[in-house]
Amino acid sequence: MKITLRDWVILFTVIPLLFVGSGLSLFYAWDRYVTVDEHIEDKAGALVDVLTMQTRLIIESGKLENLHPIYQYVLSRHSGILKNLAIIADDDTVLYNATPTFHPEEHLMVRAFGEPEPGNYQNSRVYQTPNSYLYYVPMVKEGLGEGRLDFRYNYLGYVVFEVSKLPYQAEMRAAFAFSFAAFVVTVLISIAFGHNIVRFVSRPVEELNKAILNIRHGEAGTKISGKFEGEVDLLRLGLNNLSQTMGDFQRDMEMNIESSTREMRQNLSQFETQNVQLELAKRRAVEASQVKSEFLANMSHELRTPLNGVIGFTRQLYKTPLDTNQQEFLYTIENSANNLLSIINDILDFSKLDSGKMALEKVPFSFREAIDEATALLAESANNKGLEFSININPTMPNSLIGDALRIKQVLINLISNAIKFTEQGHVAVDIDYELLDEEDIFITADIRDTGIGISDKQAETLFEAFNQADKSITRLYGGTGLGLVIAKRLANEMDGDINYISKIHQGSTFKFSFHSSINQLPVDAIIEPFELEQKRILFYEPQHNTRSAISRQLKHWHMDVVEVSEMSRLVEILHAHKYDYALIGTQVSPVNIGDIKALTESIASVIPRTTLAINSSSLKMKETFIKAGARDVISKPITYKNLRRALLGVPDTDVEAIALGDNNSEDLTNMKVLAVDDNEANLKLLMSLLKQKVSDLDTATDGRAALELCRFHKYDLILMDVQMPIMDGSMAMEKIRDNTLNVDTPIIAVTAHALPGEKEKFIKDGFDSYLAKPIDEGLLEHIIFEYAPTFAAPRMERTMVEHEQGMVDVGPTSPVFDWPLALQRSGTNPQLALEMFKMLLDSLEQTTVELRHYIDVDDLTSIASLIHKLNGACCYVGIPRLEKVVNDIETQIKKGAILADLEPEFFELFDQIESVMTHQQDFLQKVEKSIESHKHKP
């Protein structure tokens, strides 16, 4: 139930008046009642006193007849209240009764009054009837003596009076009626007063409420007219002010909203324009990224091609008779080319590092060999600047580790080359130490210290940022892209390590490269300590402190008795003081002191035959000069573990040297049976040529079905499977071979001429054991044969001579279309095989062109893709780089989902290249055949 303001006002107005009015009325009635009773008592008492005294006197006089006139007079005089009179004697007899109908004896209780006292009427007894009061007043004889009165003899009787209530009852009713009427009138007045108050208050409240509702509905300018009284009027004025303020605020807000709406529309328009620009920029960025990827791919190809030539011909030179110095030079050339190729790969993988997706290898490697390879590349640049370049490795450090040797070498090469680049005089020292974390883990630190230009605080802020160097002047003076340190630091982080540095401007820098690695529990290159050198005395002269400290530490680790000398005068002094088994003389060679060093060598060698000279040069003629002067061996600085051990022992210590000293014109054949599958005749022929030089037994197949039939009846140790072939492709053939043939467990290698990023993982996921890309790298092929060869397979004693035409790589026909040296490289330097593969490709080009044009006309992209793949595989083994690039690009775009209409420009270029090849083929083939024939007749 909801109580309104009207109800509350009436309740709070009427209820107090009800309580007050009812209380006053009751009080007035009760007071009137008490007043009437007192009036009756007073009047009755006066009559009683007079009549009782007269009655007692008359009784005492014995004139009872006198009672009647007196009583009649009293009754008549007081007839309004006095109804009856009677006198009762002390023996309870009625002496007088003014009214016969009155029977006073009915209420007689004389004995109940006790003993009366003269003049004391307090012992009177009063009885009430519905309409009257009955007074029984005893009469006592006075003056009978002192002391107690004898009640029996002094009690004369009592007088009975009947006083009527009727006259006073009417007065009482009138009083009650008046009280009630007054109460009712008061209540009505209060109700009327409350109603007036409600009207006085509710009307303004209603108007105020209406005004508030209007304001709530948006009518902010609403005003309350009229004038109220008191505080209500103040409330009205306050509400009007609030309404005015809200109206002003609403108008301001509407103006602001309109202004904001206009600005928002302008901003939306700008956003739409910017979104269009961003979309265009995004497309340009994607196109730029594609261009960058294509550029990197092209650069990768252009760089790898000459590097592959350098590496390939270096390996071919290993097969020829070489002396020790030539072997060392070839070893440095090959390592340099391999490291350069690795660096190119690292730069191409910079995006992977940037996105955190670089995967490091976990393969066994020789740590000291990795350090030797890294320092061998940089020794010449340090020696040319006359710097002291030293390597100090803790001799107790384990050598056979598990990790990514290429990445470790890359970081070291970058840090050391920077140190050499920014140091004009003084030294560059590499100190390598380690800490064993447990039986399997090792923490390695390499400190690269230099005395170069140092790094200022300002330059340090951008030191590890991409494409930044110290400052522009440094870039102009020293060159570089500014990527080296960024890649190095991220590689260190990937190996759970870091690169930190301390530097002082113009005083030098120290870079600390730290990384984690694992110890190989099955060493691939365990260090065999040269026990022959134990307790041998060696005279060690080295004026450069860092080199002297590092080499002396290593010699003492071999338990040699080392006599260190840092000054020439001291060397001459102690040369004849003791007998020495070995002498190691370190010196800095310059054009002006060669004669002095030669004379020093002669004098020392005359006393100590086993004298080794360590010089800051790799010049073959200079080494020969000092050897003729008496030195047993001459090694280049920085002095490495391998070179020092070999020089002191006087025996070869590496596989490269061992190969160089042996028969370089043949290779051992691995005793295993291999199946090669390829639908391209030229590819299959080249694969056969390479495999025949390496394995004892070889079968071939031109499609997957033929390979499957062979696998049903022959057990192979290795299967090389082309992926895309007619009749049955390589993937299906692999599945069927694994399903039900003799070669369920035989390793199957996927061979393809073109693979997008990620397809290698897909091949392995589909079931192939590994992946080999065309053109086939001879080193990778050897690695796969070694990896999957049976454990019992051993090299056979028969040897085969690899056909090698001396000078054919360097001398041959040149053409803007054909690349004969590249063809020789891809054919294993076999000119007859290269020529035959050229002819096979050239014979197929005309038919391929006709079929391509037909499939383009009928829009058969599937058949086009098959022809392009076949042509790409054929181009991989010959020297037609322009045609090869166009075909490779077309196959790439087809695999990425390009439609035929998008490839129209590429096909135009393809047909142009084919036409150019066919135009120049006759002249080129004649030159090649003539060149081959002329080399055959050379003595």
Does 475 score more than 60 pLDDT?
no
If we measure between CA atoms, which residue out of 201, 178, 162, 130 comes closest to residue 21?
Answer: 178
Instruction: Label residue 230 left, alpha or beta by phi (over 0 means left) and psi (-120 to 50 means alpha).
Output: left
pLDDT of residue 432: 95
Does 798 score more than 50 pLDDT?
no
For residue 537, name the pLDDT band (cuts at 50, 70, 90): very high
| Cα 710 from chain centre | 53
The helix-helix angle for 730-739 and 704-713 (nearest 10°) equals: 20
Average pLDDT over residues 430-443: 92
Residue 566, CA distances (Å) to 37, 117, 547, 549 in order: 150, 161, 11, 11
Pairing of strands 132-140, 155-164: antiparallel
- State how far the Cα of 867 lies from the Cα of 856, in Å rounded to an integer: 11
- DSSP string for residues in 428-453: EEEEEEEEE-SSSEEEEEEEEEE-SS
- State how far the Cα of 473 lies from the Cα of 405, in Å rounded to an integer: 34
Q: Which stretches of 640-777 are DSSP H helices? A: 641-649, 655-661, 681-692, 704-713, 730-739, 759-766
pLDDT of residue 755: 52
The answer to whether the CB of 180 falls within 8 A of the CB of 26 is no
Phi, psi of 9 (to 5 degrees): -65, -45
Torsion of CA 913, 919, 921, 923, to 10 degrees: -140
- Give pLDDT tens digits for 819-850: 777 777 666 667 777 787 778 888 888 888 88
Q: Which residues of 122-135 are buried (b: 16+ CB within 10 A; e: fewer)?
A: eebbeeeeeebbbb
Q: Which residues pair with 564 in a beta bridge?
A: 540
pLDDT of residue 466: 53
Q: Which residues pair with 446 in a beta bridge?
A: 432, 513
- Give pLDDT tens digits for 247-304: 778 788 888 898 888 888 888 888 888 888 888 888 887 777 666 656 665 565 566 6
Q: Which residues pair with 501 in a beta bridge?
A: 511
The answer to whether the CB of 796 falls within 8 A of the CB of 666 is no
Average pLDDT over residues 427-449: 93
Residue 208, class by beta-carbon neighbours within 10 Å (0-12 exposed, 13-18 middle, 19+ buried)?
Answer: middle
pLDDT above 70 covers what percent of the chain? 78
- Give pLDDT tens digits for 228-263: 666 767 777 777 777 778 777 878 888 889 888 888
Average pLDDT over residues 573-588: 90
pLDDT of residue 299: 61
For residue 911, name the pLDDT band (cuts at 50, 70, 90): confident
Does 433 score more than 90 pLDDT?
yes
pTM: 0.42
Does 117 score more than 60 pLDDT?
no
Phi, psi of 320 (to 5 degrees): -105, 160
Residue 806 corresponds to which tokens in the numbers above? Answer: 């001396």
3-state secondary structure of 422: coil
Q: Which residues pair with 429 in a beta bridge?
A: 390, 449
- Element (DSSP H or E) covering residue 500: strand 498-504
The answer to whether the CB of 150 falls within 8 A of the CB of 132 is no
The total of other beta-carbon atoms located within 10 Å of residue 256's CB is 10
The answer to whether the CB of 768 falls within 8 A of the CB of 745 is no
Average pLDDT over residues 367-378: 86
pLDDT of residue 840: 81
- State how far the Cα of 76 lies from the Cα of 70, in Å rounded to an integer: 10
pLDDT of residue 472: 45
- Element (DSSP H or E) covering residue 5: helix 5-61
Residue 439 corresponds to which tokens in the numbers above? Answer: 């039986």
For residue 64, name the pLDDT band (cuts at 50, 70, 90): confident
Q: Which residues pair with 158 in a beta bridge?
A: 88, 138
For residue 641, name the pLDDT band (cuts at 50, 70, 90): confident
Q: Which residues of 184-206 are buried (b: 16+ CB within 10 A; e: fewer)?
A: eebeeebeeebeeebeebeebee
